[in-house]
Amino acid sequence: MFRTKAPILSRAEVNNGLETNTSGIIAQANTAVDQESTLDWAKRDKRRLLHVVYRVGDLDRTIKFYTECLGMKLLRKRDIPEERYTNAFLGYGPEDSHFVIELTYNYGVEKYDIGTAFGHFGIAVEDVSKTVDLIKAKGGKVTREPGPVKGGSSVIAFIEDPDGYKFELLERGPTPEPLCQVMLRIGDLDRSINFYEKAFGMELLRKRDNPEYKYTIAMMGYGPEDKSAVLELTYNYGVSEYDKGNGYAQIAIGTDDVYKTAEAIRTNGGTITREPGPLPGINTKITACLDPDGWKSVFVDNIDFAKELE
């Protein structure tokens, strides 16, 4: 066996190597500290789901359906003619304490592509069958009749609104948050759970695998399912990408500090699409980001949001 002689390093080269190695260790340590501190911030921050935003082709038609068939209230409406769009906020209680829907109508646009990535919204009702009968009487479309969920005992039904957005009706007792779920499909469940826990400060409330039907769900949120709105992430076996269409827009989440929140998101692998700061005209501070699957969320300053509602 032949051996080569190891090169003799100068003191400067040795020191330089030590410095480089030490710098790398320090950088890794700093990254770990940053992630730990941002995670601590995300958990301490006063966060809740504020509203979910999506686009519809006829605002009056949708408001009529939601109020008459789903029992929601029209909370407020605002027209922005210079930007050529109108918003309507609907829900089961005031915006300062409830998760609500923000509908967007863009002037002249009558139809949107919902895509395959968006799943459904969830509404908790005390009697699914009675609710379905009412929806049918009003001309609503029922896509799944009332009955137990596959592999379980919970009674559910599915309906569609006039634009084709799906709503799951879940039979539950009285709840402070009837608008209770937003279901989105994702390509890697463990990656998404890790992101929403660390970057958004959410808790994994439960996880259920359904091998018979080849999908797994994870419920993520800031409080228990029976009292809070939650994000339902669905992974379908072997499917890593979906078409998002152009109908569903984003979820808005309240935060005490959009600057710290943006730092936490960036530190934990999220993409910031709007740097934190005040919106022109209304001065409400926000920051916007994308999760690993490209789903958009907007964080809104809690104090600024409360002023908007005054």
Positions annotated as catalytic residues are 168
Q: Is 168 annotated as a binding residue?
A: yes
Concatenating the DSSP letter of every residue in 73-92 gives EEEEEEEETTTTEEEEEEES
Q: Is 120 annotated as a binding residue?
A: yes
C-alpha distances in Å from residue 296, one per residue of 20, 29, 274? 39, 30, 11
β pairing state of 166-171 and 118-125: parallel
DSSP 51: E
The rounded distance, in Å, linking the Cα atoms of 98 and 309 is 13
Residue pair 90/73 in contact by the 8 Å Cβ criterion: yes
Helices then strands, counting H and E runs in the chain, come out as: 6, 16
What phi and psi values does residue 11 have, to the nearest 5 degrees? -60, -40
What are the DSSP E strand ranges found in 58-202?
A: 73-80, 85-91, 100-106, 118-125, 141-148, 155-160, 166-171, 179-185
- Residue whose C-alpha is closest to residue 95's, from 69, 72, 118, 65: 72
Q: Is 160 annotated as a binding residue?
A: no
- Residue whose C-alpha is closest to residue 231's, from 222, 240, 244: 222
Annotated binding-site members: 102, 120, 168
